[in-house]
Chains A and B, each alone.
Chain A
Amino acid sequence: GENVEQHPSTLSVQEGDSAVIKCTYSDSASNYFPWYKQELGKRPQLIIDIRSNVGEKKDQRIAVTLNKTAKHFSLHITETQPEDSAVYFCAAGNTGKLIFGQGTTLQVKP
């Protein structure tokens, strides 16, 4: 079946450094690629998304890139801050059917 692979599973960076999380997907029909942030004990929250007709999207310190040919997309966080520490999930699909990656635990050390 369709799946989404996410790497790395854990990531530790120093405050101010950049963090990159990568995902690959298998279903070539996927056209919607959101990223979610989940803080401990809370619900996942949408932080940025990209559609298949766009290659890159940026929102302040967060950017997402998409390579549809290679079926992979990435989340880039610049100038990381301690409050960026959380679990990040990528997802791929269409608006109804959405498959999530396994998650990346990001730790930003002050």
Chain B
Amino acid sequence: EAQVTQNPRYLITVTGKKLTVTCSQNMNHEYMSWYRQDPGLGLRQIYYSMNVEVTDKGDVPEGYKVSRKEKRNFPLILESPSPNQTSLYFCASSSQNYGYTFGSGTRLTVV
């Protein structure tokens, strides 16, 4: 089944403790992206990648890192999480001519 898989689904962590949210797609898509969703703010793009080793900042990249070492994987790294990064995170992928397919989401709480 074609899908975008992100893990974990739920995560509670403490301020400053490094964490990684994994994302994998099995559709051979060139493009991958991370969004965060907050009430009233819609979906805001954190980072996106157009292919292996090619990444670029979205609208809200501060406090986040990404890497694209393989085509199928695009992990999101929070080196020192803070409470304002508490949010619902979505990974997404697409081929060049189609819109993003989203993963199921990761609900992150930073206390």
Contact = CB atoms under 8 A, between A and B. Distances in A.
A98 B33 contact: yes
A34 B33 CA distance: 15
A46 B33 contact: no
Given A44-B43, A44-B90, A103-B42, A98 B105 contact: no
A100 B99 contact: no
B48 A89 contact: no
- Among A43, A45, A46, A91, residue most surrounded by chain B Cβ atoms (within 10 Å): A43
Contact of A96 (B35, B50, B105): B50
Contacts of B102: 43-45
Given A96-B31, A96-B56, A46 B41 contact: no
Contacts of B31: 95-96
A6 B35 CA distance: 18
Interface in B67-104: 90, 94, 96-104
B42 A43 contact: no
A85 B96 CA distance: 30
A103 B39 CA distance: 10
A49 B43 contact: no
Interface of chain A: mostly helix, strand, loop or mixed: strand
Interface string B4-35: 00000000000000000000000000010101
A1 interface: yes
Nearest to A3: B59
B45 A98 contact: yes
Nearest to B31: A96
A100 B48 contact: no
- Among A45, A91, A98, A103, residue most surrounded by chain B Cβ atoms (within 10 Å): A98
Given A43-B104, A49-B99, A99 B41 contact: no
Nearest to A47: B99
Nearest to B51: A96
A60 to B, nearest CB: 18
Nearest to B48: A96
Contact of A101 (B42, B56, B97, B103): B42
Interface string A18-52: 00000000000000101010000001111001000
